[in-house]
A and B are shown apart, each in its own frame.
Chain A
Amino acid sequence: MRRLLPMALVVLLGVAVAFALGERYHHRIFTLVLVWATMGLAWNIISGYAGQTSFGHQAFFGIGAYVTVLLVVTARLSPWLGMLVGALAAVLAAVLIGLPTFRLAGIYFALATLAYPLIFRIVMDYLGYQEVSIPMVRDRPAAFMQFGDPRVYDLLALAALAGTLLLSDWIEGSRLGYALRALRANEQAAEAAGVDTFRAKMLAYMLSAAPAAVIGAIYAHAILFVVTPEAVFGVLVIVQTLVVCLVGGIGSKWGPLIGAVIMVPLSETLDATVGDRLPGIQGVVYGAALVVVTLFAPEGIYWRLHALRRRRPVGERAPAMAKPHAVAAPPGRASAAPGGTLLEVAGVSRAFLGLHALDDVSFTVRTGEVLGVIGPNGAGKTTLFNVLNGFLGPDAGDVRYRGESIVGLRPSAVCRRGIGRTFQVVRTFPQLTVLDNVMVGAFAHERATAAARERALAALETVGLTSRADDVPSGLTTLDLRLMELARCLASVPELILLDEPLAGLSRDGVETMAALVRRLRESGVTVVIIEHTMYAVVPLVDRLVVLDHGRRIAEGAPNDVVRDPTVIEAYLGKRWLRHADGLRA
């Protein structure tokens, strides 16, 4: 409940301001602060938490306004109900827009979102809704959201703000929030950690469309009275939204509020005082705010303050590496018999632009073993992992896990089936603490935040990183980063772990620590496939080796035999070395 206290204070303060203000004009400014803060919060859900920059969020604002007002005009439906219809319509629109658009990445997403409000604008113009006035209802004004007292509009907007704050707060602490922040930081790593990124983005989009529609409807009744396409679908709507979010700070529920409290009164006052003489002053101020913020404080006010508060003296920390603990056996899943086939790779081929990265590769992974995959540069090792965990589909062949084909599954689904992976270059979620990073993985099987935290802490304990739980990844050593990534993977309770060069960049000590951990994992019944170049470490660590060269499997067997295999030596050092080495020996 302590979490709710600041929000309660904001609401109380809002009520106090609503009753303290006298002039109608001041109420108007106050209502506008609340409107843009709410709209900013709505945008923040998809573009802040989820990081999908939308330049078309006014589409939902406008849908809310138009649907509500048109229902009053045509059907005499109370805006209190109409608002809900508007919100539903906006959510539906979000689904229809999101379905094709979330397949696009980065710049394409931002560009595509531009088009929708423009289309709505043109269509509204065409349908003859260039100017829709809200009809005065004299008999039951309250039922039609028409009030003489400006305080009521303040409170109405305040209620919308409070609701959106609560929604944002819930998202921040929920499984969805973790999923969104993870995918914002690194979409592939999030997928590999079990986050269905498409579903998470879609949910966030729907949740951000509804409050935008509600506040659009309130804006129409409190401020506009006459709804025009320009006023609700226009560029200025998204600009005000962006400005309050960027100035205040993206990705936190307080940012848009802070931004609105500063920017809206400033621009309104300027508009009122010099707006007659300088008609574009508001736009210039907003534009200047965007430029200045981008250049000098790209993180926004909230995060600046946040960083100041967090800058506490760095105390003595326990050494990061405690003794690794035993891994709890994955619960809730019948463990396969040791020695049986866990994963079967059958005739897998994959080509890029005619180049065979994988060429008819077959091998099996037995339950409980540590299997090493080695090979020179460009042998296709990482491509193999990408096929195994679902990042890539094979051109031919099949991958069977516990007897079932996993080809075509999303990486998140592969992860939830029990195959975890790490990356050659550690993929962290930099804004999240170590614990939160690991919790993203824990959510693969836990819905509740508390349970996920528990599981994440256990995984951190396993790798010996408990003392670093509250740090952010940027301060970690290479070894700690690799351990954190492994903990994230373990938190998703994998049965099979794919480790992509886990020893790269580690010192000898680090290599020992990691190798010891891998052995412990095997003892606890986890199966491990490991890509590695650090041969002195990998040979004693693995039970078997598979060697790839130019996308083909050239050798397989016991490690000490494989590294003496002439084919393998040739692949690594060339035919000449082989002859040369024979000469040396002779």
Chain B
Amino acid sequence: MLTVSGLSVSYGGLHAIVDASLAVGEGEFVTIVGPNGAGKTTLLRAIGGGVAPAAGRIEYRGADIGALRAHARARLGIAHVPEGRRVFPSMSVLENLEMGSFRPAARPQRAESLDVVYALFPVLRERRTQLAGSLSGGEQQMLAIGRALMARPDLLLLDEPSQGLGPRVVELIFEAIAAIRRARRLTILLVEQRVVEALELCDRGYVLETGRVVLVGERDTLLADPRVQHAYLGT
């Protein structure tokens, strides 16, 4: 469904991603783990259209989408939950969710999507009139994920959903991701620092270290591979 080949991204003279390749099959759940600074977020932004790569090819359903701007990629059904949540702070929770279904393909089913999201995150229904900027970090993360689901996407890009959150909220978020996965056979590409939680959810994983893919494998292989810890702690 998604094929990235030979991707390099640099900004300010720094090479954030060097010659990275990965593939995500239809209906597959792929996780990218790696310590911070490894370039995980940059990789995801390049796929979503937030940064322009210096080299490489990004294909979505067989078509090269490298030349498309971010909004056009979103309209193809790629929903991106960006790092740091990035909710619209001066807009209400409901308005944020409505913006999720801005793309014409998702607009007619707005009401149903809203029910789905509220069922997944009941707290969003309670807070629907509140400004998104006033939510707690965990609630903002739920909103960001809910907003992406409102787009009825075919491919969901999740960037560090656990970042900066307390352990209990992290658990909740990962449970929600698992639930999303169970309910709809969505194709998911998840980027995470938390190795076990992220790997346990996925079918296949990649380990990124300083801009390069250093390890690829099935979930259980990776979970048993001591080189994963090495990538993080050098031991």
Contact = CB atoms under 8 A, between A and B. Distances in A.
Interface of A: 355, 376-378, 425-426, 428, 473-474, 476-478, 481, 501, 503-506, 533-539, 560, 563-564, 568-569, 572-577, 580-581, 584
A119 to B, nearest CB: 34
Given A533-B36, A569-B233, A573-B196, A580 B14 contact: no
Interface in B158-188: 160, 163-164, 167
A535 B35 contact: yes
Q: Taking each of B13, B37, B234, which has the highest tally of chain A beta carbons within 10 Å of its own beta carbon?
A: B13
A377 B12 contact: no
A469 B36 CA distance: 33
Contacts of B35: 376, 533, 535, 572
A572 B226 contact: no
Contacts of A481: 13-14
B210 A506 contact: yes
A196 B16 CA distance: 32
B90 interface: no
Contacts of A536: 230, 234
B211 interface: yes
A504 B232 contact: no
A539 B235 contact: yes
Contact of B210 (A504, A564, A580, A581): A504
Nearest to B17: A505
B224 interface: yes
Interface in B1-22: 10-16
B36 A376 contact: yes
B229 A577 contact: yes
A426 B14 contact: yes
B193 interface: yes
A559 to B, nearest CB: 9
B91 interface: no
B195 A574 contact: yes
Contacts of A503: 210
A183 to B, nearest CB: 18
Nearest to A374: B233
9 contacts: A473-B13, A481-B13, A503-B210, A505-B211, A534-B234, A572-B233, A573-B196, A576-B196, A580-B196
Given A376-B193, A505-B210, A568 B15 contact: no
A534 B210 contact: yes
B14 A504 contact: yes
Given A376-B35, A533-B35, 6 more contacts: A478-B15, A504-B37, A504-B210, A534-B37, A573-B196, A581-B229
Q: Taking each of A376, A426, A474, A533, which has the highest tally of chain B beta carbons within 10 Å of its own beta carbon?
A: A533
Contact of A478 (B14, B160, B193, B196): B14
Contact of A476 (B13, B38, B234, B235): B13
Contacts of B13: 426, 428, 473-474, 476-478, 481
A574 B235 contact: no
B210 A535 contact: no
A584 B226 contact: yes
B75 interface: no
Contacts of A564: 235
B194 interface: yes
Interface of B: 10-16, 35-38, 160, 163-164, 167, 193-197, 210-211, 223-224, 226, 229-230, 232-235
Contacts of B37: 501, 504, 533-534
Nearest to A560: B235
Q: Taking each of B195, B223, B233, B235, which has the highest tally of chain A beta carbons within 10 Å of its own beta carbon?
A: B233
A454 B12 CA distance: 28
A501 B10 CA distance: 16
A476 B226 CA distance: 37
B164 A378 contact: yes
A506 B226 CA distance: 24
A89 B101 CA distance: 61
A573 B232 contact: yes
Contacts of A377: 36, 160, 163-164, 193
Contacts of A355: 164
Contact of B197 (A569, A572, A576): A576
B167 to A, nearest CB: 8
A584 B224 contact: yes
A534 B35 CA distance: 9
A572 B234 CA distance: 12
A378 B163 contact: yes
A341 to B, nearest CB: 28
A536 B230 CA distance: 8
| List of 7 A-B pairs having minimum Cβ-Cβ separation, nearest first | A535-B234, A505-B14, A576-B196, A536-B234, A377-B36, A533-B37, A563-B233
Contact of A569 (B38, B167, B229): B229
B132 to A, nearest CB: 14
A489 to B, nearest CB: 17
Given A533-B37, A574-B194, A574-B196, A505 B164 contact: no
Given A378-B164, A504-B210, A539 B232 contact: no
Given A506-B210, A563-B233, A577-B195, A425 B14 contact: yes
B45 to A, nearest CB: 15
A278 B119 CA distance: 69
Nearest to A581: B229
Nearest to B196: A576
Contacts of B195: 573-574, 577
Contacts of B11: 425
Contacts of A573: 194-196, 229, 232-233
A533 B235 CA distance: 13
A149 B131 CA distance: 72
A432 to B, nearest CB: 15
B60 to A, nearest CB: 27
A473 B211 CA distance: 22
B197 A574 contact: yes
Q: Taking each of A501, A537, A577, which has the highest tally of chain B beta carbons within 10 Å of its own beta carbon?
A: A577
A531 to B, nearest CB: 10
A474 B233 CA distance: 33
Contact of A505 (B15, B167, B234): B15
A535 B233 contact: yes
Nearest to A580: B196
A564 B37 CA distance: 21
Contacts of B193: 376-377, 572
A555 to B, nearest CB: 12
A563 B223 contact: no
A71 B16 CA distance: 64
